[in-house]
Chain A
Amino acid sequence: MQSEPAITPELVAKHGLTPEEYQRIETILGRTPNFTELGVFSVMWSEHCSYKNSRIELRKFPTEGPRVLVKAGEENAGVIDVGDGWGVAFKMESHNHPSAIEPFQGAATGVGGIIRDIFTMGARPVFSLNSLRFGPIQGDGEAVRTNRRLFAGVVAGISHYGNCIGIPTIGGEIYFDESYQGNPLVNVFCLGVLRHEQIARGAAKGVGNPVFYVGAETGRDGLAGAAFASRDLTEESKEDRPAVQVGDPFKEKLHLDACLELLATDAVAGIQDMGAAGLTCSTCETASRGGSGVEIDLNLVPQREPGMTPYEILLSESQERMLIIAKKGREAEVQAIFDKWDLPCARIGVVNDDGMMRVKVGDRVAAEIPARALADEAPLYRREAKARPPEPPLDLATVPEVDLHAALLTLLAHPTIASKHWVWRQYDHMVRTGTMVAPGSDAAVFYVREAGKILAATSDCNALYCKLDPREGARIAVAEAARNLACSGATPLAVTDNLNFGNPHRPENFWQLRECVEGLAEMCRAFDTPVTGGNVSLYNENPDGAIFPTPTVGMVGLIEDETHVTTQNFKAEGDVILLLGEPGDELGGSQFLAVVHGRKEGLPPRLNVEHELALQKALRDLIRTGKIRSAHDCSEGGLAVALAECCVSGAEQIGAAFWLEGIRDDQMLFNESQSRVVVSVAAEDAATILARFSEAGVPAQEIGRVGGMELTAEFRHTTYSWPVETLRETWHDSIGKIMGAS
């Protein structure tokens, strides 16, 4: 065994630890750490594993509720009750930094990681979503070509992993903006289903219980990836490519089936996936949760290559591995199941009661650290926050009038708004035969046959709003997610969030984080949707600065009956179109202003929570009467884009005519006021339904009719008209055409 480097201040700094943090390590150990121990502390105390810069803020989230079975932070993923003894485990996680460097494997292993988090809970994963952000892909030039390469690579990586493992990717969102240039966001969400009594725990309990290592062999890939993810991305980050892992979805599929088969036997005392910080994290976290100690022997760990040092084995992030604490005397059952699936399975250690994480190489002790101090006692920081002065409201006089006929087509062709068909055609979104509403409607809807339950899920965040007003943007992200669920006929149950921000040491970035967390927390309380888990990704920066603050909200809802499932596209000639909510007129922060006028400014729309709650409740109530034929919320691109999508997003296209009165036509067409939904109803039901909304205190008006093969907007002075065929082609084919040009 080669000798290990001596501990110097330079080595400590290279591990991303401050002198104060190092002092704390010495205090915990009562001695100088060795090189292996220093590495172990550096990954466990990285932001990625310890949330040291965000944990104090995260405490502001509501995490309790009658449906919560496993709370945020307790385990790998939260679990909520969906009735009849069934629960769902779900979570969202980021793989931003790896995807920036190696998009295909970065995204693929992101999918693999979140799936492992779900089946570690004992749940069978049933579907995935993803929320992606890239730099602009339209046009030409080096940067744009790079963005296209990253976009294509990430989509291919998600497709590769998700399709092979057989978990449908049924929805999500994708935005394109300059702020993500060089630092794309890849947030992946997975949901699994389980019986209440099947919830598995990641705790090392029972002195003398054997500790098994199962799954793929450990190699040198992904060394210290958690620490890598906790730094700014720079030009030199490409040198970190070895910190990106390589995924094997086939192996994970075997792993998933083997683990679920094993968990059904009751031979398992605890189970923990080896994700970030690999073997290190899984051993100290299980020991800490179990209030116990764990001792392992690295000589027994299956290894892909010879000559790996303890430092490398402990910090490797090789994929598709799991730590299992079996019940004493049940070892043979564990072995038999992994033999059946032809997976490596090795007994590498034992649970004891001394509270230490002890790592041996044969007889020699390579690392010995108090487990709880390592896993749970990382320093917590309250960083300095500096508010940005509020954006001045938009002065409409500075917005010149433009050709609005062309403007709608420009918006529909913009990749943020255009159909993502090119993307989800590459995802198997139908395996497991539960997809009732395919990607592209307001929320994805999935029938979980194991439980006989219909779930709806969505992910949302308008980061431009968050940039202009972090608190309001975060509030809107929650409201929009809930609105998307309501439009699909669902009642929201709970939230997982993925907080993507810049370097927290910069006061403005930390202020954004705090504002967004408080905005999310306020609205999660209002919607009674506790946060059951999630992920924080900081240090999302490129040489030009931080990304837009992006607190992505993943929300899950329940649909009571199959007949309540509602989609966004217009259904029949002659149906009446109703606008729920006030028409609005604010253009600040709108896509129209950003895309057509090139101005990302102004105050974003304001959210009135009472109006929003009343709207969603009334909409759900009316959907349950069976009289709402389509429902679509107005978001990016405003009413005009929403109506165009209603015309062209179904299998069959159909036109519509609508009329509105206002001061300026561009305001009426493209403002993004909140709490608005477009619904269509049979003509004979229109009056009754308008009355019902009015009784519920929700503004509603008839604004048009479905029919013909054109979308027509009639204003006092002007009429605009677009052939449905043109709208369809512009919206549907845009991304494919752009990507075909790479």
Chain B
Amino acid sequence: MRFAVIQFPGSNCDQDCLHALRDDMAQEAEYVWHKTDSLAGFDAVVVPGGFSYGDYLRCGAIARFSPVMAAVKTAAADGPPVFGVCNGFQILCESGLLPGALIRNRSLQFVCEEVGLRVETSDSPFTCAIPVGTILRMPVAHGEGCYFADHETLRDLETHDQVLVRYVDAKTGEPVAAANPNGSLANIAGVCNRERNVFGLMPHPDRACNRRLGSEDGKRIFQSVIDTLAGRRPAPKDDAVLAPVGA
């Protein structure tokens, strides 16, 4: 499979994502510079973490205007999986590709630590290889990761099974307040769009792909995307929005 890893000025997990995809997942992966306006030839798109354009205004607020984001929107409409990690999640929300917003952590401090994540549904290209209820361990590292949305949006997300991962106590699997690193509503760590091909999460699967780092759970998310693209897994709800294999 061929993954695009978007590079904005200020992206700082671009190298980590590329490394995880190439060396830990044995996939093809290429950087795509922010001034590029086409993503032709890629099977999936990763929007990595970092501080795009410095994020001095609001995280992702400037990146959404970058030329490459028009290409990401086109890709998202065509169906290939698009997946944003950390700053990538913020950018996808700012771009309107995902519902909700990420605001300053309730603690008002940057937080970097390992968290427990519960997989809430296997019905997505990003979690199809992971049984519901599985607890994953991976790090978060952000200052603005508190997921926020209005009541109606939250209800919609639940109704349509769009919350893919939630912060939980890694031992009990319960979404308790103590396990929530940033104050996200309903302990939401990651959501997908209604069409289920765009996914964003604050935790870093790219930092949990090797035993040296203490966890390989991130691989299961990447593997889900790879399996989906290879057509090995049953398609989610609507075949029409899935990536054409080998597109």
In chain A, what residue has the closest Cβ to B33?
Answer: A340
Bits for B44-59, please: 1 = Cβ < 8 Å to A, else 0. Answer: 0000011101111000
Q: Is A430 a contact partner of B139 (Cβ separation < 8 A)?
A: yes
Give which listed residue, A250, A432, A433, A435, contacts B10 with CB less than 8 A. A250
Q: Is A425 a contact partner of B112 (Cβ separation < 8 A)?
A: yes
Q: Is B141 a contact partner of A430 (Cβ separation < 8 A)?
A: yes
Bits for B27-61, please: 1 = Cβ < 8 Å to A, else 0. Answer: 00000000000000000000001110111100000
Bits for A232-275, please: 1 = Cβ < 8 Å to B, else 0. Answer: 00000000000000001111011000000000000000000000
In chain B, what residue has the closest Cβ to A427?
Answer: B112
Q: Is B110 a contact partner of A159 (Cβ separation < 8 A)?
A: yes
Cβ of B109 within 8 Å of any chain A Cβ, yes or no, is: yes
A425-B113, A426-B111 known; A432 vs B54 contact (CB < 8 Å):
no
Q: Once the chains are docked, how many angstroms separate the CA of A434 from the CA of B16?
A: 10
Q: Once the chains are docked, how many angstroms separate the CA of A254 from the CA of B52?
A: 11
Bits for A166-185, please: 1 = Cβ < 8 Å to B, else 0. Answer: 10000000000000000000
User: Interface size (B, Cβ < 8 Å)?
Assistant: 32
CB neighbors of A among B207-242 (8 A): 207, 209-210, 212-214
Cβ of B131 within 8 Å of any chain A Cβ, yes or no, is: no
Identify the interface centre among A248, A341, A435: most chain B CB within 10 Å of its CB. Answer: A435
Q: Once the chains are docked, how many angstroms separate the CA of A22 from the CA of B55?
A: 48
Cβ of A64 within 8 Å of any chain B Cβ, yes or no, is: no
A250-B51, A430-B204, A433-B206 known; A447 vs B112 contact (CB < 8 Å):
no
Q: Once the chains are docked, how many angstroms separate the CA of A165 from the CA of B20?
A: 20
A250-B56, A426-B112 known; A433 vs B213 contact (CB < 8 Å):
yes
Give which listed residue, B23, B110, B212, contacts A428 with CB less than 8 A. B110
Q: How far is the CB of B242 from chain A (nearest CB, A)?
A: 30
Cβ of A342 within 8 Å of any chain B Cβ, yes or no, is: yes
Q: Once the chains are docked, how many angstroms separate the CA of A99 from the CA of B167?
A: 37
Q: Is A166 a contact partner of B50 (Cβ separation < 8 A)?
A: yes
Q: How far is the CB of B136 from chain A (nearest CB, A)?
A: 16
Q: How far is the CB of A456 from chain B (nearest CB, A)?
A: 14
Cβ of A377 within 8 Å of any chain B Cβ, yes or no, is: no
Cβ of B9 within 8 Å of any chain A Cβ, yes or no, is: yes
Q: How far is the CB of A644 from chain B (nearest CB, A)?
A: 22
Q: Is A426 a contact partner of B212 (Cβ separation < 8 A)?
A: no
Give which listed residue, B53, B54, B110, B214, contacts A426 with CB less than 8 A. B110
Bits for A422-454, please: 1 = Cβ < 8 Å to B, else 0. Answer: 001111111111111000000000010100000
Q: Is A432 a contact partner of B53 (Cβ separation < 8 A)?
A: no
Q: Is B141 a contact partner of A163 (Cβ separation < 8 A)?
A: yes
Cβ of B129 within 8 Å of any chain A Cβ, yes or no, is: no
Cβ of A353 within 8 Å of any chain B Cβ, yes or no, is: no
Q: How far is the CB of B199 from chain A (nearest CB, A)?
A: 21
Kindly list chain A residues whose C-beta atoms are within 8 Å of the C-beta of B121.
none
Q: Is B51 a contact partner of A431 (Cβ separation < 8 A)?
A: no
Q: Once the chains are docked, how many angstroms separate the CA of A232 from the CA of B143?
A: 36
CB neighbors of A among B88-127 (8 A): 109-113
A426-B110, A428-B141 known; A249 vs B212 contact (CB < 8 Å):
no
Cβ of A596 within 8 Å of any chain B Cβ, yes or no, is: no
Bits for B189-207, please: 1 = Cβ < 8 Å to A, else 0. Answer: 0000000000000001011
CB neighbors of B among A159-215 (8 A): 159, 163-166
A248-B54, A433-B20 known; A425 vs B111 contact (CB < 8 Å):
yes
Q: Is A253 a contact partner of B109 (Cβ separation < 8 A)?
A: no
Q: Once the chains are docked, how many angstroms separate the CA of A432 from the CA of B213?
A: 11
Q: Is A430 a contact partner of B10 (Cβ separation < 8 A)?
A: no
Cβ of A661 within 8 Å of any chain B Cβ, yes or no, is: no
Cβ of A562 within 8 Å of any chain B Cβ, yes or no, is: yes
Q: Is B212 a contact partner of A163 (Cβ separation < 8 A)?
A: no
Q: Is B12 a contact partner of A253 (Cβ separation < 8 A)?
A: yes
Kindly list chain B residues whose C-beta atoms are within 8 Å of the C-beta of A342.
9
Give which listed residue, A159, A250, A433, contacts B16 with CB less than 8 A. A433
Q: Once the chains are docked, how many angstroms separate the CA of A433 from the CA of B141?
A: 12
Bits for A332-345, please: 1 = Cβ < 8 Å to B, else 0. Answer: 00000000011000
Kindly list chain A residues whose C-beta atoms are within 8 Å of the C-beta of B9.
250, 253-254, 341-342
Give which listed residue, A165, A253, A428, contacts B112 with CB less than 8 A. A428
Kindly list chain A residues whose C-beta atoms are within 8 Å of the C-beta of B54.
164, 248-251
Q: Once the chains are docked, how many angstroms separate the CA of A425 from the CA of B54?
A: 21
In chain A, what residue has the closest Cβ to B53?
Answer: A250
Q: Is A166 a contact partner of B56 (Cβ separation < 8 A)?
A: no
Kindly list chain A residues whose C-beta atoms are within 8 Å of the C-beta of B10.
164, 250, 253-254
A166-B12, A249-B54, A341-B9 known; A430 vs B212 contact (CB < 8 Å):
no
Q: How far is the CB of B24 from chain A (nearest CB, A)?
A: 9
Q: How far is the CB of B137 from chain A (nearest CB, A)?
A: 10
Identify the interface centre among B9, B13, B206: most chain A CB within 10 Å of its CB. Answer: B9
Query: 4 closest pairs, A vs B, by CB?
Result: A166-B12, A250-B54, A164-B51, A428-B141
Using A253-B51, A431-B13, A436-B212 as known contacts, list a sample of 15 further A-B pairs with CB atoms less than 8 Å apart, ordered by residue number in A.
A163-B112, A163-B143, A164-B55, A166-B13, A166-B51, A250-B56, A425-B109, A425-B110, A426-B109, A427-B110, A428-B110, A428-B141, A431-B49, A431-B207, A433-B210
